[in-house]
């Protein structure tokens, strides 16, 4: 007859199993940053292991006292999630901080499907499902509450003593907390899910309306400003900024203005887009939510059009958002553009003309170079740089093949921008300004890191360097007294500049406008 464990003993067993199975990402970092041959190094290891055991035993025992089956069920689910989390941390070098949790929860089904690979399933079964089944098989009986509580008190006392004895290495934890915490499974992602939920609730509070604006009479033809937000485009992979490959041949002769030095506010889409569209710029992450650019313009009576082939836009009250899926559904038998970003240009001239008014604003949100399946971000005819990485397991690819696929996606974005400029230039009786910038950059395996989403404090420069480009037709330049040849000065923080630049270009006089953030105004 099998021995039936108490909830406390089961929790101890469960803690030991999870330490054995789900510490590779954590220990890989810790061992690289301590000297295990020293007393302090051993103290760090002991504290990390002891704290994990304590957290697990406390949580599991409490649940087990309520219901042994609930304890086993929760434990099984966490094992499966741990296996998946460990796989993605080891494969892409990411950490499951609140930023990455937001990326995961806001990834559309198509992008999420791109992260599913047979190896993920195999890993999930071997490291998640099978251990979970074993732990479900272990019999548990109801425990005596007082005895279990006494055991928990003893564990807490031992842990407190260990923490006090290890006071000499507290500074190490303070310095490495942002890197260690998200790697502790499952407590890292459980805590960061809670932090993300709190942040989401804060960010989705009703936005504070901005002061009303005055629309200055337009001189000349109707004014149109088009803002294109790209995805995961790195500045150093465009010819405009010194790259030695022809990744932007289609716009080279169209008179684009390249603003060097751009860095993103954040390394993830939601934070970066909030920054771009907020009057607060970078402060949009920490201050109370303010009315965003398209919502503000719409409330002031400016016609606004929004098309999105991505996710991450903030709520825009009163403005319908047309997605790439909506546009694709209008085609019988499928659109020639497929699901690629050119779908956002389908019927765009007619939609812009239908806006009416003497001024209008349009926002296009590209899917751009969203990883890891860069090879799926462009049609077959744009596979110029070969061979290309054709798997989601980008760490298994030859580094150059990954760069090739990424560069092809950048090149395709350039082609879409060229087509867009052609459409805008052909609009009758319209003066046009186009602004393009990416939400964030992208890691392509430098130092074993892929994709994006690391906290700004530890994010590599590759995840924050972004392109910022502008184009204007002759009518717009004349109406605003601009010479494009004199523009293009370095703009280190372009995402802070969009709000005021758009207001200025549209002739919207507002207390929210800041002349020092308008890139079209000459520097003092």
Quick: pLDDT tens for 351-379.
999 998 999 999 999 999 998 889 999 99
Burial letters 47-82, b for 16+ CB under 10 A, else e: bbbbbbbbbbbbbbbebbbeebeebbebbbebbbbb
> Across the strands, what pairs with 436?
228, 469
The whole-number average pLDDT for the span 179-191 is 87
pLDDT for res 51: 87
Tens-place pLDDT, residues 55-102: 888 888 888 888 989 999 999 999 999 998 898 888 887 777 776 777
Residues contacting residue 428 through CB under 8 Å, at least 6 positions apart: none
Of 40-54, 191-205, 429-443, highest mean pLDDT? 429-443
Burial (0-12, 13-18, 19+ Cβ within 10 Å), 83: buried
Q: Is residue 319 predicted with pLDDT exceeding 50?
A: yes
pLDDT band at 17 (very low <50, low <70, confident <90, very high): very high
**Hey, is 290 helix, strand or coil?**
strand
**CA 367/CA 310 separation, integer angstroms:** 5
Q: Which CATH class is domain 214-517?
A: alpha beta
* Predicted local confidence at residue 286, as pLDDT: 47
Q: For residue 475, what pLDDT band results from cuts at 50, 70 and 90?
A: very high
- Tell me, what's the pLDDT at 43? 86
The CATH 3.40.720.10 portion of the chain extends over: 214-517
Cβ within 8 Å of residue 455, ≥6 positions away: 97, 99, 178, 267
**Poorest-pLDDT segment among 48-62, 189-203, 248-262:** 189-203
pLDDT at 117 over 80: no
pLDDT at 478 > cutoff 50: yes
Q: What percent of the chain has pLDDT over 90?
A: 55
- pLDDT score for 179: 80
Query: Which of 64-78, 247-261, 390-404 has the highest mean predicted lDDT (pLDDT)?
Result: 247-261
Which segment, 265-279, 386-400, 500-514, is predicted with the most confidence on average?
500-514
| Statement: the pTM of the whole predicted model exceeds 0.85 | no
Q: Check whether 462 has a pLDDT greater than 60.
A: yes
Q: Are 203 and 339 in contact (CB under 8 A)?
A: no
Give the pLDDT of residue 455: 83
| Whether residue 421 has pLDDT greater than 90 | yes
**pLDDT tens-digit series, residues 138-182:** 998 887 777 777 877 887 888 787 777 766 777 677 677 778 888
Q: What pLDDT, on the 0 to 100 scale, is given for residue 178?
A: 73
Peptide bond into 186 cis (omega under 30): yes
Q: Report whether pLDDT(524) > 60.
A: no
Dmax over CA atoms of the chain, in Å, equals 91
Question: What is the predicted pLDDT for the residue at 247?
Answer: 98
Please, which pLDDT band fits residue 108 given cuts at 50, 70 and 90? low
Host H or E run for residue 435: strand 430-438
pLDDT of 388 strictly over 80: yes
Q: Is residue 335 scored above 80 in pLDDT?
A: yes
Q: Kindly report the average pLDDT of the chain as a whole number.
A: 89
pLDDT digits (tens, 9 = 90+) for 489-514: 999 999 999 999 999 999 999 999 99
Q: Which residues of 273-282 are buried (b: 16+ CB within 10 A; e: fewer)?
A: bbbbbbbbbb
Distance CA 462, CA 8 (A): 47
């Amino acid at each position: 007859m099998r021995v039936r464990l108490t909830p406390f003993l089961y929790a101890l067993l469960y803690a030991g199993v999870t330490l054995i199975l789900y510490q590779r990402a954590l220990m890989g970092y810790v061992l690289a940053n301590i000297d295990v041959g020293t007393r302090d190094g051993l103290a760090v290891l002991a504290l990390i292991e002891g704290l994990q055991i304590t957290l697990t035993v406390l949580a599991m025992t409490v649940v087990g006292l309520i219901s042994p089956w609930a304890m086993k069920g929760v434990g099984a689910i966490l094992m499966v999630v741990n296996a998946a989390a460990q796989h993605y941390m080891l494969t892409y070098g990411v950490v499951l901080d609140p930023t990455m949790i937001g990326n995961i929860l806001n990834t559309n089904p198509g992008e999420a499907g791109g992260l599913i690979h047979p190896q993920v399933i195999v890993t999930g079964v071997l490291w998640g499902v099978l251990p979970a089944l074993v732990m479900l098989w272990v019999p548990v009986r109801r425990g005596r509450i007082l005895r279990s509580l006494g055991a928990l008190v003893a564990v807490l006392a031992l842990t407190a003593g260990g923490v006090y004895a290890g006071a000499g290495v507290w500074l190490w934890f303070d310095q490495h907390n942002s890197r260690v915490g998200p790697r502790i499974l499952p407590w890292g992602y459980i805590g960061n899910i809670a932090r993300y939920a709190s942040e989401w609730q804060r960010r989705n509070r009703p936005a504070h309306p901005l002061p009303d604006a005055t629309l200055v009479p337009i001189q000349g033809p109707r004014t149109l400003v088009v803002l294109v937000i790209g995805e995961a485009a790195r500045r150093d992979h465009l010819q405009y900024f010194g790259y030695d490959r022809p990744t932007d041949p289609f716009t080279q002769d169209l008179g684009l203005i390249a603003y060097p030095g751009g860095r993103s506010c954040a390394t993830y889409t939601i934070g970066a887009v909030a920054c771009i569209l907020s009057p607060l710029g970078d402060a949009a992450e920490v201050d109370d939510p303010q009315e965003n650019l398209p919502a503000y313009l719409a409330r002031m009576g400016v016609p606004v059009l929004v098309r999105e082939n991505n996710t991450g836009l903030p709520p825009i009250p009163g403005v319908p958002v047309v997605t790439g899926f909506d546009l694709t559904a209008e085609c019988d038998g499928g659109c020639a553009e497929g699901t690629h970003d050119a779908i956002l240009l389908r019927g765009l001239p007619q939609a812009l003309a239908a806006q009416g008014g003497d001024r209008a604003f349009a926002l296009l949100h590209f899917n751009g170079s969203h990883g890891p399946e860069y090879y799926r971000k462009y049609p077959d005819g744009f596979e110029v740089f070969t061979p290309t990485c054709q798997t989601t397991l980008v760490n298994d690819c030859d580094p150059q093949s990954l760069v090739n696929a990424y560069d092809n996606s950048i090149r395709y974005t350039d082609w879409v921008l060229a087509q867009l400029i052609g459409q805008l230039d052909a609009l009758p009786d319209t003066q046009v300004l186009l602004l393009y910038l990416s939400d964030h950059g992208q890691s392509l395996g430098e130092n074993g890191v892929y994709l994006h989403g690391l906290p700004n404090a530890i994010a590599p420069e590759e995840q924050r360097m972004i392109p910022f480009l502008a184009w204007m037709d002759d009518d717009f330049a004349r109406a605003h007294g601009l010479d494009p040849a004199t523009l293009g000065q370095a703009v280190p923080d372009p995402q802070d500049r969009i709000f005021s630049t758009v207001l200025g270009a549209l002739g919207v006089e507002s207390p929210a406008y800041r002349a020092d953030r308008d890139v079209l105004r000459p520097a003092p």
